[in-house]
Structure 1
Amino acid sequence: MGGTRDEVDRRRAFVGLLAQPVLDRRRDPELFGLVRHPGHRPELSHWFSSRLGYRLVVTDTGARLFRLPLGDTVIAPRRVELPPRRALVLALLAAAAAEDAEDITTTQDLSDRVRVLTGRDDAGLTAYDPDRFAERKLFAAAVKLLLSTGALAPADTGGDEQRDGWARRVDKIGGTYEVRREMLLRMIDPAAFAAALGTRGPAITEGAERFSVMRRILELPVCLYGDLTEAQRAYLIRQRSRIVAWCTEMTGWVVEQRAEGLALIAADEADTDLPFPRLRAIDFVSLMVLDELYRRRDDTDTVSEADLTAAVTEVSVRHPKSITAEIVSDTARRERALELLRALDLIRPGSGPDRWQLTPIAARYRDPRVVAMTARLEDAP
């Protein structure tokens, strides 16, 4: 990542905010310092607002990047491992409970408050039952989500054991937290929340094509011409040189231009949310499954569900040492591999039933060279 020290620091701040849109001054002092630096902050705000249509809010204690929707659509990376829906609901309820809690609260206090909230006649939700272990486990996951947003901050030293053990110990209060009200109120942007619920927001007309194209290049594995509307495609073709220059200015990375579209290639795999392939079993299996599917594709780069099943089985026969306990069954291998390949946008649901479509970027991974390693393939995420 070349450039002056200020250019490098601004790029670190920009990329850091894309990867971590919630920054806490105490938890993320270095990155927060780069974002709040008087020489970087105005430029970052301009980049996000004029080129992506995002909103950056920076205060004395934190920073929050809001990925505002275009209508009812949010273009953002596909998450491989989504929290259970129930955990997300409980996190929202715990956030509402935290707003009325004392400045210092506990897992048990929030749990009690959420139980009261869901017990109301007008709640419209399945009542939260903390006497069930499954519910307590989901609530513990919900509290971790609030910790990740900066809405709560650990107020106890060495409290990991207390927090993690609360689900199994009904006689414990769990972790102790400071309620960070400023971050709590900025946890959800109303427009983004409405879009998540499928409620169309006000139409964005000025800059809509620019925002859509830039978001696809920066947020997704690849920006394919075939995924763009006619207006978006025309904008990209007309402004390609400027777009490439913007991406280089903001990230320092290289934009790879192909006949099918554009891809922004990170300088280091640590800069991407989903490096592939990593030295772990599921990445190896997914890569081999993709290669097998590429061989079986038809003239339209389509494969059938039968092809997918056969590819999963073939990999286990050819590379039995790559099969770990977590993916020992054909079903587990298929689900995990498909989940990862879809997140990487290498495969998509096809136009017909039981059909899968390989995207043009799948060709980048064809005929992989398998090298024997002494290191053990791990299943760690």
Structure 2
Amino acid sequence: MSRHAVERQRAFTTLLRFPVLERRSHPEVWSLVRVHQVVLGEWFSHRLGYRLVVTDSAARLFRLPVDGTVLAPRRFQPPSRRVIVLAILGAAAAEDAEDITTTQDLSDRVRALSAHEDVALSPYDPDRFAERKLFVKAVQLLVSVGALRPTGRDDDEQREGWAHRRDAVGGAYEVRRELLLRMADPLALRVALAGGRDDRPPDEFATRHSLMRRLIELPVLLHGDLTEAERSYLTSQRHRVLAWCAEMTGWTVEQRAEGMALIAVNETDTDLPFPRTRAADFVALMVLDELLRARGVGAVVTSEDLRAAAAEVKVRYPKALINELRADGAVESTAQELLSALDLLRPIETGDAWWLTAVAARYRDPQVVVLNARLDEEAE
């Protein structure tokens, strides 16, 4: 593979991971984006229906809706609605702020903005500690999308200091007006304001874009999830689709009877690696194995099944439970949240139950070891 091909793949996968990519935050990858922006723009536009905007200092990838839907991984443990609201108000306030602003200045502006009669929102009250904590998270959200750039110290201690009123000013930030104005794409915003529906006539490329997004963005493409048009397109264009995926990412396509998955080369290439070497992933993996043993792939799993599986895991692996997992219901709630985010447990709309998807079979019968001894072996 040529050097240019490897560079394009790195730039492409990095943009998927970081839709806002700045020259200062990713200097090495930024240079690759600038060099290969024509090819990258064609890949995103023609194959996925996305829009890549590259300026002198940043690149912004807009995941535009297809038939009113943006098919992308759901964020694991996303910010709360209140944090998002405060971030939007903070973005509006930052547009009128000086080029260098502070946490306190933005807080004052958001307080005044939220108190307007024509703003149908609960007023922001920075006199409440809980609100100040949420506002700190909102500011960090604006930093993550490039609208604000820290000009100095910006760590947990500094943010906690402002929330607890030990720091009167908080962090200092440069207002990145170019990226501030590019936070939302006009088309995506129009669809969101229309209740998620797009009133444009169907795009002739919509089927291709929807299918390609499933492979590129989601953990797996299951044939049962495809529309008739998507299945027909995949049948006739399978070789081209797989070649495109390999060309853009360098990853491996794994094909099974139930569907196919695009397997990332490194854990850093995916938004939610699993299983990682941490307690939450361990208990989720063990709960999943118990559910597979008890119910099998394709079965419906209830809350009672989750509780029973969690109880068995707690009995078998008591030393694996950190303090946060010892509370009542912690193991099952942690497992359910993580497995759902991975689409191993898929919620059923009719009630408090989940479908155990075909992908779950990939994780059956895990071998559990600590040092060189199996955890499930009885002590001699």
Residue identity in the other structure for 2:261: A
Tell me the SS of whatever aligns to 2:163.
Answer: coil
Match of 1:316 in 2: 314
Instruction: Tell me, yes or no, if structure 1 residue 124 matches structure 2 residue 157.
Output: no
What is the aligned-residue RMSD (CA, Å)?
A: 1.8
Which position in structure 1 is the counterpart of 2:377?
A: none
Partner Cα distance (2:206, 2:51) in 1: 15
Q: Give the aligned partner of residue 58 of structure 2.
A: 62
The CA deviation at 1:350 is: 3.1
Matched with 1:98 is 94
Q: Distance in 1 between matches of 2:196 and 2:299?
A: 35
1:379: which partner in 2?
none
**Does structure 2 conserve the Cα–Cα contact (< 8 Å) formed by 1:312 and 1:330?**
no
AA at the equivalent of 1:349: P
Aligned partners of 1:296 and 1:303 also within 8 Å: no
Corresponding position of 2:280: 282
Question: Matched residues in 2 for 1:17 and 1:57: separation?
Answer: 11
2:242 corresponds to 1:231? no
- Give the 3 Å change call, closer, same or farther, for CA 46–334 of structure 1 in structure 2: same
Choose from 135, 146, 150 the match for 1:150. Answer: 146
Amino acid at match of 2:344: L
**1:160–1:175 CA contact under 8 A, matched in 2:** no
Which residue of the partner structure matches residue 345 of structure 1?
343
The answer to whether the 8 Å contact 2:161/2:167 transfers is no
2:251 is the alignment partner of 1:260 = no
Q: Deviations over 1:83-106 (max 9, x none)?
A: 111011000000000001111111
Gaps of 5+ in 1: 375-381
Show the counterpart of 2:376: none
In 2, are the aligned partners of 1:312 and 1:333 still within 8 Å (CA)?
yes
Which residue of 1 is the match for residue 104 of structure 2? 108
Kindly tell me: are residues 168 and 365 of structure 1, through their superposed partners in 2, closer, same or farther at Cα, counting changes over 3 Å? same
The one-letter code matched in structure 1 to 2:279 is A
Distance 1:313 1:112, change over 3 A: same
In structure 2, the residue matched to 1:165 is 161
C-alpha displacement of 1:157: 4.7
Code of the aligned partner of 1:230: E
Give the corresponding residue for 1:269.
267
**TM-score when scaled to structure 1?**
0.93
The one-character-per-residue Cα deviations of 1:68-127 (angstroms, maximum 9, x if unpaired) are: 011321111121111111011000000000001111111111101101111000100000
Q: How does 1:30-109 map to 2 (within 5 A)?
A: 30-37=28-35, 40-109=36-105
CA contact (8 A) 1:91 1:146 kept: yes
Report the 3-state secondary structure (helix = DSSP H, G, I; strand = E; otherwise coil) of the residue aligned with 1:166: helix
SS of 2:329's equivalent in the other structure is helix
SS at structure 2 position matched to 1:9: helix
What percent identity do the matched residue pairs reach?
62
1:285 Cα deviation from its structure 2 partner? 0.3
Task: Encode CA deviations 1:27-67: one digit per residue, 9 max, x unaligned.
Answer: 21111111011xx1110000000000000000001000000
CA distance in 2, matches of 1:217, 1:158: 37
Q: Give 1:246 deviation, angstroms.
A: 0.2
Partner of 1:217: 215
Q: Structure 2: which 5+ residue stretches go unaligned?
A: 373-380
Structure 2 equivalent of residue 377 of structure 1: none
- Asked whether the equivalents of residues 68 and 74 of structure 1 are also in contact (C-alpha less than 8 Å), the reply is yes
Q: Pick which of 148-157 and 189-198 moved more.
A: 189-198
3-state SS of 1:123 partner:
coil
Please name the residue that 2:375 is paired with.
none
Shift in CA distance, 240/13, structure 1 to aligned 2, threshold 3 Å: same
Q: Count how many residue pairs are aligned between Structure 1 and Structure 2.
A: 371
Deviates more, 1:324-333 or 1:311-320: 324-333
1:162 Cα offset (Å): 3.4
The SS at the match of 1:32 is: helix
Q: Do the aligned residues in 2 keep the contact of 1:155 with 1:176 (CA within 8 Å)?
A: yes
Describe how 1:370-381 pairs up with structure 2 within 5 A: 370-373=368-371
**Residue in 1 aligned with 2:364?**
366
Structure-2 residue corresponding to 1:378: none
2:137 is aligned with what amino acid?
A
CA contact (8 A) 1:70 1:203 kept: no
